[in-house]
Amino acid sequence: MHALPLLAAGVAWFGATLTALAEGRRGFALGLALSGAGLAGVQLGAGRPLNALLLAGAALLSATLRLRDGPRGWGLLPPGSTPGIVLSIVVLVACVLLAGALLQGAAGIPSLAPLAVALVAAGRVFTVVQRQPALAAASALALALAGFGSLAATVAGGLVAVALAAIPAATAEEAAG
Amino acid sequence: MTAELSPPGGRTAPSGWLLFLGALGAAATVLALAPTIARLAGLPIGLAISVPPAARTLLVGCLLALGLAVALAPPTTSRRELLVAGLAAVGALAALVTVPDPYAAGAVLLLLGAGHATRPAKRSFAVRLRGPALAALLLGAGWFFVGSGGPLGRVGALALALGLLATAGLLPYLADFEPEEPTSSSCLVWTAFFAPALALSLAPRVLTSMSPPEGTVFAATLIALGLVNLGWGGLAAWRISGDAQAWRYSFVAEWGLALVGMGLLLRDGRAAAYLALLALVLVRLPLYLRARPALLQRAPGRLATANVLVALLLAGVAPFSGFPVRLLALRAATQLSWQLALVLLVLLLLSAVSSFRLARSIGHPQGREAVGLGLVLATSLALGLAPGLFLAAGGF
């Protein structure tokens, strides 16, 4: 009964981790798509199909928009990824411990999926200096905010995720140069 | 943000994107101010959209201020560009005050942060996105924890209060401030324009959903960090080198007073916070914008009559806008604890020391600039002489 939400939560965390550990447009797009799919699965498990549909649509659109510019390829695990890997694992362990200690045990883990995605994505925004990874991580953070529950948050977060993905990865001057 | 939108002498037409954003901003503002917006809450779609009266008053004030800024813009500034950019900014403000919960507010903050970070500035895009991202994270995580209740609820209340401070770029999240950056690109946009609106719309919403222990943590955090910001801002505005930096810290100090008022939770305290934030947007920000040209020229100023009036205004002396704010905050603090009122009084005196330094930096405005300064002084007088009118408009 709890397998689908648990799996969805895992997919969401893995998608956020992928977004945080990639430097190529395909890596960002796949990470965003997985994060959105996972968060949508959690919403579906919680009995909110409309939220799930909106989240999945926003994630798909964000991923597609992110594919159009930025460094080519996957760019997974570039040199210097160790702190990002450590952060992702620490967030995962902390969320499981938090669910076990203060929420309803394993059943509470899916509700922590948006928090895990938000923490991993925010960790990337705080440490990166290039524009495209910051935009991709900010899109993932917006999807996480959309996944926390209310319909207003889902609409606002989904729209913001898409809008952030629509911002070009390079400034007009960089693109011209 | 008058003279900084276009280069001197520039009369460029707004770009297509800016026109689109301006139209979007105008539509959002009209929607937010329309009386019908409250009816959306009754629809069975779960979108509880409404604008608190205090935030609505701030929005109307910003629209009036924009109209005046366009009317009094110097001849070197493109009025059309100023109007369109201003409408986009006020529209963003409208979106921020309309969203019903901290998750949605966090998402809107992220978008505003990214939009603001695309403006030309010394600091990189990614660096400028960090502040809004932190604020969005704190608001989202905080609201989630508050919803979970128990010990996590108190952590959530702490995170929400910190999220508000991160949005405004206050201690302990003081953002980098580059005096040479145009105001529209600098972190002051957050401190003096977006964050006051968020505070006026978000604080009442989250407080009604918190349990008493969570509310206590939220209020205590606001009071403690409010006192820190008031003291630090007052001292830095007095002692720091560079008048632009001094102005920035004067905003921090004024925010400190507003935070203390918000944290006191009593009617007088909340009224003080509301009036302080209203004055921050409608009086202090326009004064800073008037001072910018003189600040960049670094011309040594002498005190004329207008400067003395501005100094009295900034010090919070009667009959200007700062006086009822200080009176109400001290009255609320006295009701809670006389020790707190004593500390607040000392810090208020400390923050008043920098007022003559700041007033001197305004220089000696002539022509349109002098008219603009006169209107700011008149706004401050209106806030100081008839605070009841503004409090009634804000639902107090």
Listed by start position, the domains of chain A span 3-75+83-169
**What's the confidence (pLDDT) of residue A174?**
56
The burial of B172, by beta-carbon neighbours within 10 Å (0-12 exposed, 13-18 middle, 19 or more buried), is given as exposed
Average pLDDT of chain A is 89
Q: How far is CA B30 from the centre of its chain?
A: 21
A76 to chain B, closest Cα gap in Å: 20
C-alpha span between A167 and B21 (Å, rounded): 14
> What's the token pair of residue B148?
């979970």
> What's the token pair of residue B394?
């804000």
CB contact under 8 A, B46 and A103: no
C-alpha span between B259 and B264 (Å, rounded): 9
B46 to chain A, closest Cα gap in Å: 6
> What's the token pair of residue A62?
């964000």
Indicate the SS3 state at residue A76. Answer: strand
B110 to chain A, closest Cα gap in Å: 7
Choose the closest CB to B108 out of A114, A128, A160.
Answer: A160
Indicate the SS3 state at residue A64. Answer: helix
Residues B191-234 have pLDDT tens digits of 988 999 999 998 888 998 899 999 999 999 999 999 999 999 99
Note if the bond before A79 is cis, omega within 30 degrees. Answer: no
CB contact under 8 A, A128 and B126: yes
C-alpha span between B270 and A25 (Å, rounded): 48
**What's the confidence (pLDDT) of residue A37?**
95
Question: DSSP character for A79?
Answer: T
Q: Taking Cα atoms as reference points, which of B187, B84, B112, B139 lies closest to residue A163?
A: B112
**What's the confidence (pLDDT) of residue B1?**
42
Residues A22-57 have pLDDT tens digits of 988 999 999 999 999 999 999 998 889 999 999 999
Q: Taking Cα atoms as reference points, which of B53, B27, B28, B30 lies closest to residue B391?
A: B53
B17 backbone φψ class: left, alpha, beta (φ>0; ψ -120 to 50): alpha
H helices within chain B, ranges in order?
16-33, 53-71, 79-98, 102-117, 125-148, 150-168, 188-189, 195-209, 212-239, 243-264, 267-279, 285-297, 305-315, 322-336, 338-352, 355-360, 368-385, 387-393
**Closest residue on chain A to B96 (Cα):** A156
Q: Taking Cα atoms as reference points, which of A108, A112, A104 lies closest to residue A144?
A: A112
**Tally of residues, chain A:** 177
> What's the token pair of residue B332?
């609320």
Please spell the DSSP secondary structure of B101-163, one letter per residue. SHHHHHHHHHHHHHHHHTS--SS-HHHHHHHHHHHHHHHHHHHHHHHH-HHHHHHHHHHHHHH
**What's the confidence (pLDDT) of residue A164?**
94
CB contact under 8 A, A152 and B99: yes
A95 to chain B, closest Cα gap in Å: 12
Chain B residues in contact with A152 by the CB 8 A cut-off are: 46-49, 99-101, 103-104
CB contact under 8 A, A102 and B150: yes
B168 to chain A, closest Cα gap in Å: 17
CB contact under 8 A, A151 and B45: yes
Choose the closest CB to B110 out of A103, A138, A153.
Answer: A138
> What's the token pair of residue B13?
């037409």
- Looking at the complex, does the CB of residue B385 fall below 8 Å from at least one CB of chain A? no
Choose the closest CB to A125 out of B49, B130, B148.
Answer: B130
**What's the confidence (pLDDT) of residue B246?**
93
CB contact under 8 A, A114 and B134: no
CB contact under 8 A, A171 and B118: yes
**What's the confidence (pLDDT) of residue B8?**
42
Q: Which residues contact B294 (CB under 8 A, 6 or more apart)?
A: B301, B361, B362, B363
Q: Where is pLDDT greater, at A13 or A109?
A: A13
**Closest residue on chain B to A168 (Cα):** B118
CB contact under 8 A, A160 and B103: no
**Which residue type is seen at A102?**
L
**What's the confidence (pLDDT) of residue B254?**
95
**What's the confidence (pLDDT) of residue B2?**
40
φ/ψ of A167, rounded to 5, equals: -70, 130
A3 to chain B, closest Cα gap in Å: 22
Q: How far is CA B272 from the centre of its chain?
A: 14
Residues A143-172 have pLDDT tens digits of 999 998 788 899 999 999 999 999 988 765
**What is the interface pTM, i.e. ipTM, of the complex?**
0.94
Tell me the percentage of chain A whose pLDDT exceeds 90: 64
> At which residue do the structure tokens 């900010």 appear?
A138
Choose the closest CB to A142 out of B110, B134, B143.
Answer: B110
Listed range (A83-87, A173-177, B28-32) with the worst mean pLDDT: A173-177
Q: Taking Cα atoms as reference points, which of B256, B149, B258, B263 lies closest to residue B216?
A: B263
Please spell the DSSP secondary structure of B310-327, one letter per residue. HHHHHHT-TTSTHHHHHH
pLDDT surpassing 80 at residue A103: no
Hey, CA dihedral for B10, B15, B20, B25, is it positive or negative? negative
Residues of chain B predicted below pLDDT 50: 1-10
